């Protein structure tokens, strides 16, 4: 089952969708209204559901091409098809066990545990629901990293020769509250804050490959977008637009925006980067290009199959070689107890490690 965030598909969906996303989080109404206007630029429709349909079709084709006969389902956290409806459909189809691929590669409450809480809710709501296993984090899997590397190389190639050597690589991910970031990852682990640590490991892996391919060591930074919390709550910074302002003031000749925190071109990419950040760069006279996301790159799709086969072998008690790049190594199959706690109240979640 592909597990994703979901998004509105017509203008009248926008407000109900945003209410689903922000329920209980104290997001100011003016921020909801502002974000709602972002969707109007795209016909009142988020691209994410269409992107997930494409991903599901690509995974189905990849599995069939590898001789693996498995149905592929898709469920969302915040919009149709909702997870509970998908779990019910799986149960009705006679599915007894399923692997869950979450379209979020990193550890934090909002990017991992919240999905596991929602999976718990969905399974609890369906009598006789299948057993669900979440596939491991893949931010450092070569099937994710290599498409990012090639996308950065392609974006660099689009810059003029005069500015390309001095271009900065601006890696962008979704901002989250600082308190949430600090508790991401297992309690007492050197990995904490895992959300930032994992991103930095991915950034280092990508830039090392860029150096190998080009012979140029481009300066790189990790920055953030899509802050949505109340102003008095600290969130991870710097904001991508503020960072572009600082780079332009320092005389940086060009930038490549690398959406390393995202697997496809959904709203945080097409609005926050393509619309807002590129407009900031243009206003500053700062040459800028945006690298592509992994999307349905064949290597990314094959990675999902690799993660599935890896986990199936683990469940059979077999030894497996886990693909990864960078310094951190492959992450866990089952999230450690206390990992990425809910910032508001403790809630049960699926796919925990045994106590």
Q: What is the pLDDT of residues 231-252, one digit of tens each?
A: 899 999 999 999 999 999 999 9
Whole-prediction pTM: 0.96
Please tell me whether residues 131 and 214 are part of one structural domain.
no
Average pLDDT over residues 91-107: 98
Please tell me whether residues 285 and 310 are part of one structural domain.
no
The pLDDT of residue 93: 98
In a domain, 218, yes or no: yes
- Provide the 3-class DSSP secondary structure of residue 261: coil
Indicate the number of domains in the chain.
2
The pLDDT of residue 25: 65
Instruction: Give strand pairing partners of 174.
Output: 225
Average pLDDT over residues 8-19: 89
Residue 230, pLDDT > 90, answer no
The pLDDT of residue 66: 98
Query: pLDDT higher for 16 or 162?
Result: 162
The pLDDT of residue 290: 98
In a domain, 307, yes or no: yes
| Sheet containing strand 2-4, strands side by side | 74-76, 2-4, 97-102, 131-134
In a domain, 23, yes or no: yes
In a domain, 189, yes or no: yes
The pLDDT of residue 347: 95
Please tell me whether residues 157 and 134 are part of one structural domain.
no
In a domain, 66, yes or no: yes
In a domain, 196, yes or no: yes
Q: Report residue 24's pLDDT band, with 50, 70 and 90 as the boundaries.
A: low
Average pLDDT over residues 153-164: 98
The pLDDT of residue 30: 72
The pLDDT of residue 262: 98
Average pLDDT over residues 168-185: 98
Residue 303, pLDDT > 70, answer yes
Please tell me whether residues 46 and 175 are part of one structural domain.
no
Q: At what angle do helices 298-315 and 48-65 cross, to 10 degrees?
A: 60
Instruction: Give the closest residue to 46 by CA, choosing from 225, 270, 260.
Output: 270
Strand-strand pairing, 220-225 and 168-174: parallel
The tally of CA atoms less than 13 A away on the side-chain side of residue 135 is 26
Average pLDDT over residues 41-61: 96
Q: Give the CATH number, domain containing residue 225.
A: 3.40.50.1400
The pLDDT of residue 229: 75
Average pLDDT over residues 143-156: 98
Q: In terms of residue numbers, what domain contains 12?
A: 2-138+297-315
The pLDDT of residue 119: 98
d(CA 99, CA 348): 19
Please tell me whether residues 91 and 155 are part of one structural domain.
no
Please tell me whether residues 47 and 109 are part of one structural domain.
yes
Please tell me whether residues 98 and 165 are part of one structural domain.
no
Q: Report residue 254's pLDDT band, with 50, 70 and 90 as the boundaries.
A: very high
Tens digits of residue pLDDT in 25-46: 667 667 777 778 889 899 999 9
Q: Report residue 18's pLDDT band, with 50, 70 and 90 as the boundaries.
A: confident
Residue 76, pLDDT > 90, answer yes
Both structure tokens of 261: 């925190």
Q: In sequence order, what E strands does 95-150 have?
A: 97-102, 131-134
CB 47 within 8 A of CB 267: yes
Please tell me whether residues 134 and 29 are part of one structural domain.
yes
Please tell me whether residues 82 and 181 are part of one structural domain.
no
Please tell me whether residues 154 and 262 are part of one structural domain.
yes
CB 83 within 8 A of CB 3: yes
In a domain, 26, yes or no: yes
Out of 114-118, 272-276, 351-355, which region has the weakest mean confidence (pLDDT)? 351-355
Q: At what angle do helices 142-158 and 194-214 cross, to 10 degrees?
A: 60
Distance of CA 123 to the CA centre of its chain: 23
Residue 167, pLDDT > 80, answer yes
Please tell me whether residues 47 and 148 are part of one structural domain.
no
In a domain, 182, yes or no: yes
The pLDDT of residue 198: 98
Instruction: Give strand pairing partners of 82.
Output: 76
Q: What is the mean pLDDT of the chain?
A: 96
Please tell me whether residues 8 and 128 are part of one structural domain.
yes
Residue 256, pLDDT > 90, answer yes
């Amino acid at each position: 089952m592909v597990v994703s965030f979901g998004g509105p598909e017509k203008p009248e969906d926008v407000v109900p969708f945003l209410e689903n996303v922000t329920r209980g989080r104290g997001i100011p109404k003016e921020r909801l209204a502002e974000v709602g206007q972002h969707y109007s630029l795209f016909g009142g429709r988020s691209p994410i559901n269409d992107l997930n349909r494409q991903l599901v079709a690509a995974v189905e084709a990849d599995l069939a091409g590898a001789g693996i006969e498995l149905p592929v389902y898709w469920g969302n956290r915040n919009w149709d098809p909702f997870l509970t409806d998908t779990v019910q459909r799986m149960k009705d189809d006679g599915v007894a066990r399923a692997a869950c691929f979450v379209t979020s590669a990193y550890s934090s409450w909002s990017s991992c545990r919240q999905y596991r809480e929602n999976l718990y809710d969905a399974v609890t709501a369906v009598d006789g629901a299948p057993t669900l296993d979440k596939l491991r984090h893949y931010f450092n899997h070569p099937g994710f990293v290599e498409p990012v590397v090639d996308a950065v190389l392609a974006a660099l190639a689009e810059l003029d020769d005069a500015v390309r050597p001095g271009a900065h690589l601006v890696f962008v991910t979704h901002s989250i509250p600082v308190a949430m970031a600090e508790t991401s990852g297992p309690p007492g682990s050197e990995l904490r804050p895992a959300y930032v640590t994992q991103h930095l490991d991915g950034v280092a892996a990508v830039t090392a490959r860029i150096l190998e391919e080009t012979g140029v060591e481009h300066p790189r930074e990790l920055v953030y977008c899509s802050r949505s919390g109340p102003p008095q709550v600290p969130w991870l910074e710097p904001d991508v637009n503020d960072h572009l302002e600082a780079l332009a003031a320092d005389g940086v000749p060009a930038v490549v925006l690398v959406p390393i925190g995202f697997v496809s071109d959904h709203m945080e990419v097409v609005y926050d980067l393509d619309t807002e950040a590129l407009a900031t760069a243009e206003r500053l006279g700062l040459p800028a290009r945006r690298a592509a996301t992994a999307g349905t790159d064949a290597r990314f799709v094959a990675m999902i199959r690799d993660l599935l086969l890896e986990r199936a072998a683990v469940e059979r008690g077999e030894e497996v070689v886990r693909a990864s790049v960078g310094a951190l190594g492959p992450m866990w199959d089952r999230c450690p107890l206390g990992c990425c706690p809910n910032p508001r109240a403790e809630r049960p979640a699926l796919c925990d490690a045994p106590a």
